[in-house]
Amino acid sequence: MINGTIFKQTLRSNVKLWLMFTIVLSILQVVMIAVFDASTLENVGGLVEGTPLAGLLAQTTLLSMLASTFYSIHGVIFPIIFIIMTANSLIASQVDRGSMAYLLSTPTKRSTIIMTQAIYLIMALIVMFLIETVAGIVSIQVFQSDTDIVVSDFVMLNLGLLLLMFAISGISFFFSSYCNLTKNSLAFGAGIPIAFFLFHLLSTVDQSLDVLNYFTINALFDTTAILEGENYWWKLSVLLGIGIVLYIASLEVFKRKDLPL
């Protein structure tokens, strides 16, 4: 099912990129927690009272600040870029360049190759967010020890983000398995996640753009619901479902397609 030799080789050629993104993501998280100061935000809040920005700064807890910054912009776009680059290099670029021929000229099943590569991508995301979460919890203890923070909510934010990334990685991985050319794999595998990200970002800018939220799976990672204790489980389950379906589809499509090797 999973081939250790291929996994080792995949790890060797992709681990540098993963490490870079994990470090950047964790540093961003730590810095944002470290610089948070509730009283400054209150002052700024006073300045923007009555303007559209007021809504953005209305809640001034650490987690709500992170929800509207890290968990909707930085923490989303960085992993998306990582996913786009990695997913393409795992399958489509190897088919496009022809180096996949070497794997397939050994007694290795196509399904084994796909599953091994998929496991790498999923594991990379899980470990990335594990490190980021631990870094976050540690920096909360260090920099915000006097602030009242619900750690379980913080963990849920990260779990939600991980599930969103799992679904998005499914999209990129699917197109990497489906397309024979890197350019096509990137057009869809990068285009769709970035479009989703932008739709979600725009929908938060103004109420008139709220409709865009219906065209993006990023809306299923509902930070407000998580922080205010509303029911968010079904949304996260949908993200999990999307991811699982897309990974299975990737496997089936790769098993059946013609390879120009």
Closer CB to other proteins, residue 74 or residue 110?
110
| Choices 59-67, 104-112, 125-133, 188-196; region in contact with other proteins by CB under 8 A | 104-112
Q: Does 183 bind other proteins (CB under 8 A)?
A: no
Per-residue x/- marks for other proteins, 11-30, CB under 8 A? -xx-----------------
Min dist. Cβ of residue 4 to other proteins (A): 8
| Choices 90-98, 191-199, 220-228, 236-244; region in contact with other proteins by CB under 8 A | 90-98
SS (H, E, C) the chain: CCCHHHHHHHHHHHHHHHHHHHHHHHHHHHHHHHHCCHHHHHHHHHHCCCCCHHHHHCCCCHHHHHHHCCCCCHHHHHHHHHHHHHHHHHCHHHHHHCCHHHHHCCCCCHHHHHHHHHHHHHHHHHHHHHHHHHHHHHHHHHHCCCCCCCHHHHHHHHHHHHHHHHHHHHHHHHHHHHCCCHHHHHHHHHHHHHHHHHHHHHHHHCHHHHHHHHHCHHHHCCHHHHHCCCCCHHHHHHHHHHHHHHHHHHHHHHHHCCCCC
Q: Does 9 bind other proteins (CB under 8 A)?
A: yes
Q: Which of residues 238-257 bind other proteins (CB under 8 A)?
A: 256
Q: Does 102 bind other proteins (CB under 8 A)?
A: yes
Q: Which of residues 28-57 bind other proteins (CB under 8 A)?
A: none
Min dist. Cβ of residue 257 to other proteins (A): 9
Q: Does 1 bind other proteins (CB under 8 A)?
A: no
Min dist. Cβ of residue 14 to other proteins (A): 10
Residue type at position 26:
S
| Residue of 24, 104, 195, 253 that binds other proteins (CB under 8 A) | 104
Which residues here bind other proteins, judged by CB under 8 A?
A: 3, 5-6, 9, 12-13, 94, 97-99, 101-110, 256, 258-261
